[in-house]
Every structure is written in structure tokens, then in C-alpha cells.
Amino acid sequence: MQLPVVNQSDSPRTPAPQEGQGDARGSYAVVSLGCPKNLVDTEQMLGRLDQDGYRMVGDVNAADFVVVNTCGFIDSAREESLGAIDEMLDLKRQGKIRGVVVTGCLAERQQGQLLEARPEIDAMVGVFGRNDIVDVANRLKSGIEEQQRVFRPAPIRPLSDAIRSPVTPRHFAYLKISEGCDRLCTFCAIPKMRGKHYSKPIEQVVDEAKRLGDSGVREVVIVAQDTTYYGKDLYGTPKLTELLTELDKIDSIDWIRLMYFYPMYIDDRLVETLAGAQRILPYIDMPLQHASDAMLKRMSRKTTRASQEEIVGRLRDQIKSLVMRTTMITGFPGETEDDFEQLVEFVAEQHFEHLGVFTYSVEEDTPAARLPNRVPAKIAQRRMSDLMAVQQQIAFQWNADRVGTLDDVIIDSKFEEQDGVWIGRTRSEAPEIDGVVYVSGVDAGAEPSVGDIIPCEIVASQGYDLVAAPQ
């Protein structure tokens, strides 16, 4: 399998000893899986290892030990995580690496079960044990063969993410504003892995954002399990409006992008703040999961199709040029053809610019796992394909309609397959999940740098992607 091994790119990193400048305490490689929230945890562990003198390498074969930060959210993610662990353990058996450290959500969720099946794992670090990563590395380096298990209870307040070694490109970063979730969606095991919702204080989030801006980050992507619930635990009422007002004042940041909105606690003040902000982009990721009232009730989403339509309509009416991303689930237990047709109708009516679809995955120890009327996998897959076919037409037409318009493009990388072409995104595309913009026709001697934001004209569409020329 092709592993997402973290490489030393042009990201700003805490310096570790280099060859000729004193020996590093040891070398390590990182395989980071899962969502952006998990990636922030990866960066935090890297920051601590770097500060303590360990050196990250981009080739697992050149590492003393490998950290596999796992995802345990759905079947495919668990399979990917287990595959990565097995591949690293095979390298250990061959004598190419000394140790394998498994961290993150799958470690937290399976614990003893995972160790029993794979006793060659040297250490297991749960979600809230991430700050102990240096102690784990030190024990590995010292040759102690006793297997380590580092599992901590959820802290009263979120762990700080200030000590980070970014692995994203220099110009964008994820900013986690809270941890855990109080929602009891019947299909989701996140609360069992990440605990109850708890928010970082506003001043802490602002301080972390300023650190990112000062390090050269131009786009900050706000992430959480439930963004709109931010602050409820600390202040007695959601405070996302107040947080965004403060973040919008940070001059060193150009773009602020919002992910993981839950369709609750979206009041007029929040909408007005989003509409009038200088740096907060008109882009909202709001996972809705379904549109049939029967399915929403079985999922315990605490919403209805009518309320979702009202929220989406209100946001679009008041926020100019709003772009929306959402996700849906097909094949949830009890989903009938009528339920699915309601979902198709909803997607066709709402014209979401970006939409992803998952087939239902049985999660152990969740209420949905005990629900009757399971939908056969083939039917769930067919419904996913049918829904994506509807969405594809919407997305392709939206991109075609953008040809001839002007927009700013942030440059993510050079397009290695063709000289003079760069890859970027407009305000309408989130990094790593949406389409891209190919920027060509750059004048010789005026090539952009990664992180530059340049005005462009959209000159062509290619399915989910665009082609643009600098102005």
C-alpha cells in the first residue's frame, strides 16, 4: 500500500540537529492517517520530538522508529490503519527499523484487542497520551523491551497545540478549536474515542492562530468535531461568533476557512459575522448526513429536512457568493428507496458546490449497530454511486459557469508534469478535499512562490478542476 509518510517539506519546523551539527538523539518517521484534527495531533507530537532533539526522516527505512497515528472512524479507515501498522511491523521483523509506536484513535478504541493481535507493537499511545511521546521515544532508544501503554483520561481542558512542527505546506494550517463531541449520533463512535466536547478558551485559540500567522501561514482552516458548539462548555452558551470576531482581526492571516459546522446554534449574530468578515471566507463545511426525516431521527441528528433547508437558505441569502460542502450517508439501517429518493431530491434542489458520500459503516458499541433492517452493501453502494452522479452534474455545471470570472488563487505547489504550470485553489476550494486550479501562462521570470495569492481569470473547467491565467 502507498503510505502517507510525512516528509520534510518546506513547512516551518523546529530545528533538529543536522549532520555535522551534533548528533540527533535518534531518527523517526511518521505515518499520519485520518482527518485534519488527527493531523494536528501528529504535528504536536512531532513538535515535542523535534524539541527534544529527535530528527524526522521522510523514508521509513532510514528511521530508528516509526510513529503510526491511526484513524478508527469507519471500516475503510481502520483497514488502512491496520495495513500501515502491519507494514511497519514487517519492516521491524526485517531489522530495518527498531520500533513501532501506534497512536491515535484506533489505539484509543481497540487498546488491548490491538495489542493482543499484534504483540510486536512496541508502544500504544492513546488520544490523550500524545504529550508523552518523548518518554516513549526515550524508552525505545534506551533499549527497554517492555511494551508501553500510555492511555490518559480526557483532560478537563483541551491540550494545547502551540508546540507544533507543521507537516502541511508552509502557507496553510489546521487550527483545532475544541476536542470531543457531546452529540449522540447513533452511527458515530467519536465520543467514545475523543471524549466529551471541551473548548479551548478564546484567548488560547487566538494565540495559536497568531503563532501560525507569524510563522508564514496565510490560510487557517478551523476544525473541531462540532464547530458551532464551540464555547458552550466554557461560557454556558456557544461563542463561535465571539471567537471568529477576534480571529478576523489577525492581520498576519489572509484566509480563515470554516469546517465541521453542525446545523444547530447558527443564529443571526453568527450569520452576520460571517457575512461581514474581512478574512473569514464565504465557505462552510456542514455535514448533514441525510435529508429524510425518518433517517435523521434514526441517526439522532436533532434536525429535520425543513430545518436544514431553512438554515442553508438563510446562509445563502445573507452571505454573498457562499460555497457549501456537505457529506451524506447511504445505506443507513432502515433506509428505504423512498428515504433515498428524498435525499436525491434534496441534493438536486440545494445545489451544494461540494458533496461527499459515504456508505454506512457498522461501528461497534454504537446504537446504530443494534438497529434492525440492515441495508445490503450492494444497495448502499449503488445508492452512493447514484447520488454522486447527481452531484457530479451539479459540480461540473458550477465550475463551467465560473469560466470567465476573476478570482484570487493561493498557490499550493508546482505542477511537476508540465513546466510553467502551478496548482492552487480559490476561496471556494478547501485544501486536500476539493478540486484544484491549474494556473498556467505565467510570464517568464515572474513565477509565483508557494503561498502567493494571485489574481486570476478562470479560463476553462475540467470536471471538478479549473484552469486559470494570472491577470
Question: Identity (one letter) of the amino acid at 225?
Answer: Q
Cell of 72: 478508527
Cell 461563542, residue? 239
Residue 421, CA distances (Å) to 90, 413, 445, 447 in order: 40, 9, 13, 9
Strand partners, 437: 424, 466
Question: Identity (one letter) of the amino acid at 46?
Answer: L
Question: Identity (one letter) of the amino acid at 241?
Answer: T
The model's pLDDT over 12-27, given as tens digits with 9 standing for 90+, comes to 444 444 443 345 689 9
- The model's pTM is 0.88
Q: How far apart are CA 107 and CA 278, in angstroms?
A: 41
Residue 50, CA distances (Å) to 40, 44, 55, 145, 216 in order: 15, 10, 6, 23, 19
Residue 454, CA distances (Å) to 110, 173, 322, 466 in order: 47, 19, 21, 15
Under 8 Å between Cβ of 58 and 8? yes
Give me the pLDDT at residue 3, please.
60
Give me the pLDDT at residue 16, please.
40
Angle between helices 240-247 and 202-214 (to 10 degrees): 30
Task: Give the chain's mean pLDDT.
Answer: 91
The model's pLDDT over 95-115, given as tens digits with 9 standing for 90+, comes to 999 899 999 999 988 887 888
Helix (H) or strand (E) holding 76: helix 75-93
The number of helix segments (H) and strand segments (E) in the chain equals 14, 19
- DSSP assigned state of 442: P
447 vs 454, residue with greater confidence: 454
Give me the pLDDT at residue 18, please.
42
Q: Indicate whether 435 pLDDT > 70.
A: yes
Strand partners, 222: 175, 258
The model's pLDDT over 345-395, given as tens digits with 9 standing for 90+, comes to 999 999 999 999 999 999 888 999 999 999 999 999 999 999 999 999 999
Cell of 351: 445545489
Q: How far apart are CA 449 and CA 443, in angstroms?
A: 13
The model's pLDDT over 284-314, given as tens digits with 9 standing for 90+, comes to 999 999 999 999 999 999 999 999 999 999 9
Q: How far apart are CA 377 and CA 380, in angstroms?
A: 5
The model's pLDDT over 257-279, given as tens digits with 9 standing for 90+, comes to 999 999 989 999 999 999 999 99
The model's pLDDT over 26-66, given as tens digits with 9 standing for 90+, comes to 999 999 998 888 899 999 999 999 999 999 998 898 899 99
**E strands within 167-229?**
172-176, 178-179, 198-199, 219-223
Q: How far apart are CA 253 and CA 279, in angstroms?
A: 8
Under 8 Å between Cβ of 431 and 412? yes
